[in-house]
Chains A and B, each alone.
Chain A
Amino acid sequence: MKGKRGLVLIGSPKGLEGSNSVRHAQALTETFDAEGWSLEWLHLHHAVESEEAIDDLLAKVDRADQILFVAPLYVDSLPAPAIRAFERIAAQRSRRSGNSKAPRFSVLLHCGFIEPKHNATAVEICRLFSEAAALEWFGELTLGGGGIPSRRVRRAVAEAGTALAKGFPIPPEAQKWAKRPVMPRLAFILGGNLMWRRVAKGFGITKVDLLAQPYE
């Protein structure tokens, strides 16, 4: 696996700093350097902003031996710019002859709900994209809990990253760890609701204001 190129595609709108997607991607790729990978990082929102940027994205996909896509769940699917990027990648690669190389493609999706299974439809969308773009599907990891870095989540991401860096698909053991809830669901609901109320209060929004129905 020495001298291989990896491409990390970040689907969060928040860019390459400070998002849960970036934190998960950093943890996922922690051992890549030691295994001889050189990594390029791309923020998909910027990558589809112009034809020049799209050309750059397509060139990087073509050069990659392995692509890691990390994104938050947006309305049961992927954020719109990530879908735009997928449309362009699939269109370009489907025009090619069958002899071009197939980069490996793996996915880490995370959602704000406690149950990772909310990501299931989005995973299938990624899988169909992988087929359409003639990529080699290398597995998925789905996380719930809004980015809470529990011990189980850290273990799941570390095991997945270690496998990918060594040239193996995401192992079932990592998927199993990721599927375990990070806390009891009722505690998540109560804690989450309290968190939202506190955040809103910080903006001067009262409990009543937060329930506004401006378009009723």
Chain B
Amino acid sequence: MDDRAACILDGGSAEGVSSEVALARVVDVLTAQGWSPTTYRARDLEVSPCRGCFACWVKTPGVCIIDDVAREIVRTVAQSALLVLVTPVTFGGYSSELKKVIDRLIPLILPYFTFVGREVHHIRRYPRYASLLGVGLLPRPDPKQEKVFRSLVRRNSINFHAAETEACFVYGDGTEGEPSLAEGLAEVIG
């Protein structure tokens, strides 16, 4: 893992709140602090949906059986110290464009179960995992959707063994929620 490598997954769509402003701010902060971000714009990528076949666990361990760009993304995430998810908040969750990539990340973990805290989760495949920042895009503040989004990012951080995690929001007029993007990034990159 490269301690200054960041993977940014852009789940923005052509309609609605643009992801460009949030993306530019994230990249600016990261590069100013010496990080090397790699950005994937999900809507431009031909990523097949996960088949739920579990071949990446039991047949070709750690590698998805579908040979498309998602394999490269899994490699990039595995070798990054930070994963940033930028997405229109969609019913409180990620957009379908982002989710098609997220669903393909399960080769990062093992099929085996263990206790994490008081819950059963999958065991880590790699010794270290990226910290996770979720950046939700909304037309305006929306407490109900923001609550679900925070919960989703937190649950993902448990299942992908993220060392640090935070969720923040950028609104249609360019303003930010609390924590701000800069504060959220500071939280996950230290």
Contacts and interface: CB of A to CB of B under 8 A. Distances in A.
Interface in A84-140: 84, 86-87, 90, 113-115, 117-118, 120-122, 124-126, 128-129, 132
Contacts of B58: 196, 199-200, 202-203, 205, 210
A72 B91 CA distance: 18
B78 to A, nearest CB: 4
B119 A113 contact: yes
Contacts of A72: 52
A13 B66 CA distance: 14
> Interface on chain A toward B: helix, strand, loop, or mixed SS?
helix
B110 A125 contact: no
B52 A12 contact: yes
Contacts of A185: 115, 120
A79 B61 contact: no
A60 B12 CA distance: 28
A118 B57 CA distance: 21
B156 interface: yes
Contact of A86 (B91, B103, B125): B91
B97 to A, nearest CB: 8
A114 B52 contact: no
A216 interface: yes
Contacts of B50: 13, 74, 79-80
Interface in A172-216: 185, 188-189, 192-193, 196, 199-200, 202-203, 205, 209-216
Given A13-B52, A212-B62, A216-B126, A189 B114 contact: yes
B52 A128 contact: no
B165 interface: no
Given A77-B152, A216-B78, 14 more contacts: A45-B49, A76-B156, A77-B93, A118-B155, A121-B152, A125-B91, A128-B91, A128-B92, A188-B120, A189-B114, A196-B58, A200-B61, A210-B57, A213-B62
5 contacts: A75-B103, A80-B100, A83-B90, A125-B152, A212-B62
Interface of A: 12-14, 19, 45, 72, 74-81, 83-84, 86-87, 90, 113-115, 117-118, 120-122, 124-126, 128-129, 132, 185, 188-189, 192-193, 196, 199-200, 202-203, 205, 209-216
